[in-house]
Amino acid sequence: MKKPEVAIVGIGITKQAKSMDTNTIQICQEAVQKALDDAGMNMAEVDGIAARWPGPGGTELDPGVVDWTGIFGKPFRWVGDTYPQGIPGLLDAAAAVSFGLCNVAIVFGGQAGVLKREHLADYTQPTNEFVEPWGLFTAAHFAMVAQVYFQKFEPDRLKMSYIAAEIRNAGAQNPEAVMYEKGPYTPEDIIQSPKIAEPFHLLDLCLATEGASAFIITSTERARDCPQKPIRILGGSSEWYRQQYVNPVRYDEVKNLGKEAFQRAFKQAELGVEDIDLFELYDINTWEIVRQFETLGLCDEGGGSDFLFENGIGANGKYPTNTDGGLLSFSHTGWGGPNLKVIEAVRQLRGQASGFQVQEAKHALVTGAGSGAQYFNAAVLSV
Amino acid sequence: MTPDNPGMLTTKFWDEARNERLVRPVCGRCNTSFFSPQILCPKCQSGKWEFQKSTGKGSIYSYTIIHRPPDDDYPNPYIIIDVELEEGWRMYSRLIDCSPSEVRIGQTVKVAFQVFKGKMLPFFKVEED
């Protein structure tokens, strides 16, 4: 494997909120325009698109389904029907540019006008006939994986809660986070929040919010003429274990999900985990952060909570993690939510963080999904 | 990809459930029990499988206690379980007639059919030793 000669040259992010008085297409278009402005480009130059095709609205030919060529009034050379967005979208687009299928690819996603307050988001409740009758939802799948870990290793609940508190406190200081000024939280606050799906409490779990984000990928050669510092995509890999949220997902089968993806991503990047300055990890719940650090090999299975508590994951910690407030506090916009990890990594590496800024960060690790989803992906980004 | 007739794989499962029989697909070639029903056996990719009756006995691989029910038909809290059946297959279900403080990983359970939202469903109960 050789290092790909591709870079992220533009990012765009709209306002993020619990619910918005607009629609998915408009909010996505807004993010696209911001990314184009950031890259110093216009849509005429974009010839690749990964935004779910022909979605959002589903891939069936139902009324209301989006044809992005129709929205943007132009044809494309490359179309990625990438689900979800985030790292799979990033890597697909990087591959498309590397192979010459397109010169400039835009990856975007988000949602608006779809979430109703006080209700679980529809997309977290699959309608599968062997799932729905039991009252299962996304957090419950993850909870059943975590429960086995909790029984086996009996982690210190207060130390694990430090992780949620620290990530949420980063969001509380970030004016762009949905949960801005919500906090600060102590580990005790996390444990004292209502139980939702044991072993998880309310403050252990990610948000379901609205907003959109976009990023633009092109060759390092073209990137030299863009106004922003290019952020290189040095390596990345994915693991697809099973279809998500249908068949029972088991701790013993998915506990190391991501291990191989990490190894491949680091090998391609010619870096090791010790070179990473910034961890933008998929924090669908507190425990997934612990599992990912264990899978990275930085600590033993069962020892992640103690390890992170002792080393620190905040602004002054050894492993700055989810610096924008993460999915717990910044935002999680459904199928477009995984993009937010890439956006925050780019902002940090450029020195343009909206929340706290990690000084002189050079290499970032970004991840997507996790054990309960039965797939995982990782990428290494660099200035 | 969805099968041409999405119901064809699972109709028999629910027909049998109405008669309080728990069934699972068993491969005609390699004898593997699997769940949920899918077109090909996950072990040998044979399309020749049939539903066979399960003893309905198994153990709890994992569980979660839910404190935020989707609607008023659910008790609060309720217990979702991942059951490992005797024949080596597994499914999600709900544990009923059990106090949340008494559920444990590894507990022996047995299927217990009950109507929920107008449909006969295979719930599970703790099996006393």
Render pLDDT for A204-251 as a digit per residue (tens, 0 to 9).
999 999 999 999 999 999 999 999 999 999 999 999 988 777 788 999
Beta-bridge partner residues of A79: A49
Do residue B45 and residue B21 come from a single domain?
yes
Q: What is the CATH number of the domain that holds A44?
A: 3.40.47.10
Q: Is residue A298 part of a domain?
A: yes
Do residue B48 and residue B70 come from a single domain?
no
Do residue B64 and residue B43 come from a single domain?
no
In chain B, count H helices and then E strands: 1, 7
Contacts of A71 (CB under 8 A, 6+ apart): A25, A29
Do residue A95 and residue A193 come from a single domain?
no
Chain A nearest C-alpha distance from B129 (Å): 22
Q: Of A367, A298, A358, nearest to A326 (Cα)?
A: A367
**Is there a contact between B78 and A135 if contact means CB atoms under 8 Å apart?**
yes
Q: What is the mean pLDDT of residues A36-52?
A: 94
Mean pLDDT of chain A: 92
The count of other CB atoms within 10 Å of the CB of residue A380 is 26
| pLDDT tier, A54 (very low <50, low <70, confident <90, very high otherwise) | low
Phi, psi of A14 (to 5 degrees): -90, 180
Do residue B74 and residue B47 come from a single domain?
no
For A147, which of B36, B62, B119 is closest by C-beta distance?
B62
Chain B nearest C-alpha distance from A3 (Å): 34
Do residue A241 and residue A299 come from a single domain?
yes
Do residue B18 and residue B44 come from a single domain?
yes
Do residue B121 and residue B61 come from a single domain?
yes
- Provide the 3-class DSSP secondary structure of residue A99: helix
Do residue A239 and residue A288 come from a single domain?
yes
Contacts of B33 (CB under 8 A, 6+ apart): B24, B25, B26, B27, B52, B54, B85, B87, B88, B89
Q: Is residue B28 part of a domain?
A: yes
Q: Is residue A327 part of a domain?
A: yes
pLDDT at A377 over 90: yes
Strand duo A48-50 + A78-80: pairing: parallel
Do residue B75 and residue B112 come from a single domain?
yes
Q: Is residue B84 part of a domain?
A: yes
The predicted structure's pLDDT at residue B99: 96
**Backbone angle region of A181, left / alpha / beta, with phi > 0 → left and psi within -120 to 50 → alpha:** left
Do residue B62 and residue B105 come from a single domain?
yes
Do residue A254 and residue A106 come from a single domain?
no
Q: Is residue B1 part of a domain?
A: no
What is the tally of structural domains in chain B? Answer: 2
The predicted structure's pLDDT at residue A243: 79
Render pLDDT for A67-91 as a digit per residue (tens, 0 to 9).
788 889 888 999 887 777 899 999 9
Do residue B48 and residue B73 come from a single domain?
no
pLDDT at A302 over 80: yes
Q: Is residue A126 part of a domain?
A: no
Q: Is residue A129 part of a domain?
A: no
pLDDT at A1 over 70: no
Domain that holds residue A56: 6-116+210-223
CB A80 within 8 A of CB A93: yes
**B10 touching chain A per CB within 8 A:** yes
Give alpha helix (H) positions in chain A: 24-39, 68-72, 87-99, 138-153, 157-172, 187-192, 220-223, 251-254, 259-269, 286-295, 304-311, 326-329, 339-350
Q: Of A55, A4, A11, nearest to A280 (Cα)?
A: A11
| pLDDT tier, A119 (very low <50, low <70, confident <90, very high otherwise) | low
How far is residue B20's CA from residue B37's CA, in Å, rounded to a whole number?
A: 18
**Is there a contact between B61 and A131 if contact means CB atoms under 8 Å apart?**
no
**Is there a contact between B74 and A135 if contact means CB atoms under 8 Å apart?**
yes
* ipTM here: 0.93
Beta-bridge partner residues of A205: A285
Render pLDDT for B59-113 as a digit per residue (tens, 0 to 9).
999 999 999 998 999 999 999 999 999 999 999 999 999 999 999 999 999 999 9
pLDDT at B1 over 60: no
Q: Is residue B36 part of a domain?
A: yes
pLDDT at A62 over 80: no
Do residue A275 and residue A326 come from a single domain?
yes
Strand duo A278-280 + A363-370: pairing: parallel
Render pLDDT for A189-207 as a digit per residue (tens, 0 to 9).
999 999 999 999 999 999 9
Strand duo B78-85 + B57-66: pairing: antiparallel
Of B16, B33, B53, which residue constitutes the final position of a domain? B53
Domain that holds residue B35: 6-53
How far is residue B22's CA from residue B37's CA, in Å, rounded to a whole number?
A: 13
Pairs from A122-131 (Cβ < 8 Å, separation ≥ 24): A123/A334, A123/A335, A124/A208, A125/B70, A126/A245, A126/A246, A128/A245, A128/A246, A128/B36, A129/B10, A129/B14, A130/A246, A130/B10, A130/B35, A130/B36, A130/B91, A130/B92, A131/A245, A131/A246, A131/B92
How far is residue A34's CA from residue B97's CA, in Å, rounded to a whole number?
A: 55
Do residue B47 and residue B71 come from a single domain?
no
Q: Is residue B47 part of a domain?
A: yes
pLDDT at B48 over 60: yes
Q: Is residue A229 part of a domain?
A: no
**B105 touching chain A per CB within 8 A:** yes
Q: Is residue A121 part of a domain?
A: no
pLDDT at A55 over 60: no
Q: What is the mean pLDDT of residues B115-127?
A: 96
Q: Is residue A320 part of a domain?
A: yes
The predicted structure's pLDDT at residue A242: 82
Q: Is residue B41 part of a domain?
A: yes
| pLDDT tier, A57 (very low <50, low <70, confident <90, very high otherwise) | very low
Q: Is residue A307 part of a domain?
A: yes
Do residue B44 and residue B88 come from a single domain?
no
What is the tally of structural domains in chain A? Answer: 2
Do residue A362 and residue A321 come from a single domain?
yes
Of A190, A223, A256, which residue constitutes the final position of a domain? A223
**Is there a contact between A248 and B61 if contact means CB atoms under 8 Å apart?**
yes
pLDDT at A118 over 60: no
pLDDT at A256 over 90: yes
Contacts of B99 (CB under 8 A, 6+ apart): none
Do residue B46 and residue B72 come from a single domain?
no
Do residue A219 and residue A277 come from a single domain?
no
Do residue A217 and residue A241 come from a single domain?
no
Q: Of A376, A348, A381, A352, nearest to A366 (Cα)?
A: A381
What is the token pair recorded at A372?
Answer: 């309960």
Do residue A145 and residue A100 come from a single domain?
no
Do residue A69 and residue A141 come from a single domain?
no
Do residue A63 and residue A180 come from a single domain?
no
Do residue A97 and residue A218 come from a single domain?
yes
Which chain B residues contact residue A287 at CB under 8 A?
none
Q: Between the CA of residue B11 and those of A236, B23, B31, B83, what are the distances in Å?
A: 42, 11, 21, 21
Of A164, A197, A223, which residue constitutes the final position of a domain? A223
**Is there a contact between A194 and B63 if contact means CB atoms under 8 Å apart?**
no
Q: Of A239, A268, A214, A233, nearest to A96 (Cα)?
A: A233
The predicted structure's pLDDT at residue A125: 67
Q: What is the mean pLDDT of residues A354-382?
A: 95
Percentage of chain A modeled with pLDDT above 70: 93
The predicted structure's pLDDT at residue B88: 96
